[in-house]
Amino acid sequence: MGIAADPLQWRIGLVGYGEVGRILAEDLRARGLRVVAYDRKLGGPDEAPLAEHAARHGVGLAGSHGALAAAADLIVSAVTASQAVNVAEACAPALRSGAWFLDFNSASPGAKIEAAGAIDGAGGRYVEGAVMTSIAPYRIRVPLLLGGAHAAEFAPQLATLGFDARMASEKLGVASATKMCRSVMIKGLEAMVIESFTAARAYGVEDQVLASLSETFPGIDWERQGSYFFQRVIQHGRRRAEEMEEAAQTVREIGLEPFSAAGTARRQAWVADLADAGLMGERDARRENWRLDADRIIDTLKKP
């Protein structure tokens, strides 16, 4: 049985049922789409929240990559960056002929090309997607760059499903390079703010530092921005660290040593370790004052 011409008749398979997967599931179900999901947490001790969400929103749960791929007209891969190629390779053997595969992951151009080889080689149609900002505020309408030989054909079908996608290039890797190079700046700025503000707080010079930053960059509210950056890294540092490993690989693929990107990955992971150990307070709390989080970091540095 072939892929239906009308995207609204498709069955959507979501690989990865974390924050991104659940947002997409909710929005696709609200449009009446049939949705099935697979996550490696299913069948384990962390299954309950996923199963509860799926039951509440009418999302089917698959038992494996292969079971999901065999039933889906479109697979959306939304996993951690390090698993992007593994997911493509795991889905490929069971793909339906002509099935679409949208790679939502923050991976390097090289990883996207490798994943595309697995999907296209199995008779599927691979499209790379580069998510260009935080998903939560935009949900399914998050700005999305598409790339690859099938991207131009796929873009209007994604629009029918409710996505806000535009063509970047028929050449694989261009969309991802755009995303990764942006991340070197955005995630790097997060890491620099945490390092700078925490050190300034420890030396008692934070007011002077922020006043100087405000003079140099008058368009930025550094108090508010600092609190937001601490919040994002404490909440999502692990995922961001993996993305920055891919950003570092993106830089490395052109022959340039990724000093900044690699350092950012280490800082993001370091903060995630503190959060995992319960040393950063309530993880999901809204950060209104970055100083409280800086003080928590300073306290950990004083411990043997």
Write the CATH number for 224: 1.10.1040.10
Residues 156, 220: one domain? no
Shared domain for 63 and 208, answered yes or no, is no
Q: Express as a percent the part of the chain with pLDDT over 70.
A: 100
What is the per-residue pLDDT for 136?
85
Please check whether residue 189 lies inside any domain of the structure: yes
SS3 call for 90: helix
pLDDT digits (tens, 9 = 90+) for 199-254: 999 999 999 999 999 999 999 999 999 999 999 999 999 999 999 999 999 999 99
188 in the same domain as 56: no
Enclosing domain of residue 168: 7-172
User: Is pLDDT above 60 for 67?
Assistant: yes
Same domain, yes or no: 224 and 265: yes
User: What does the alpha-carbon distance between residue 246 and residue 212 come to, in Å, rounded to a whole number?
Assistant: 33
* 1 part of a folded domain: no
2 in any annotated domain = no
What the block records as the tokens of 191 is 């890491």
Helix 222-252 / helix 290-302 crossing angle, nearest 10 deg:
60
Task: Return the minimum-mean-pLDDT range out of 1-5, 10-14, 64-68, 272-276.
Answer: 1-5
Same-domain status, 223 and 288: yes
Residues 93 and 187 in one domain: no
Distance CA 131, CA 220 (A): 24
- The pLDDT of 293-299, averaged and rounded, is 97
- Please give the tally of structural domains in the chain: 2
Q: Answer yes or no: do 256 and 286 share one domain.
A: yes
6-55, pLDDT tens digit by residue?
Answer: 999 999 999 999 999 999 999 999 999 999 999 999 999 999 999 999 99
pLDDT the model gives residue 156: 96
Domain boundary (132, 150, 172) is at 172
Q: Do 148 and 183 have their domain in common?
A: no
Instruction: Kindly state whether residues 243 and 270 are assigned to the same domain.
Output: yes
Distance CA 77, CA 272 (A): 24
Q: Say if residue 148 is in the same domain as residue 185.
A: no
Q: State residue 303's pLDDT score.
A: 81
| CATH number of domain containing 48 | 3.40.50.720
List pLDDT tens digits, range 266-293.
999 999 999 999 999 999 889 999 999 9
In a domain, 242, yes or no: yes
77 within some domain? yes
- Domain boundary (172, 197, 219) is at 172
* pLDDT for residue 2: 75
Domain assignment present for 15: yes
Does 185 map to a domain?
A: yes
In a domain, 288, yes or no: yes
At 53 the pLDDT is 97
Q: Do residue 241 and residue 157 come from a single domain?
A: no
Same domain assignment for residues 197 and 287: yes
Residue at which a domain ends, from 150, 172, 194: 172
- pTM for the structure as a whole: 0.87
Statement: residue 1 has pLDDT above 90: no
Residue found under tokens 């070197």? 184
CA distance 174 to 232: 26
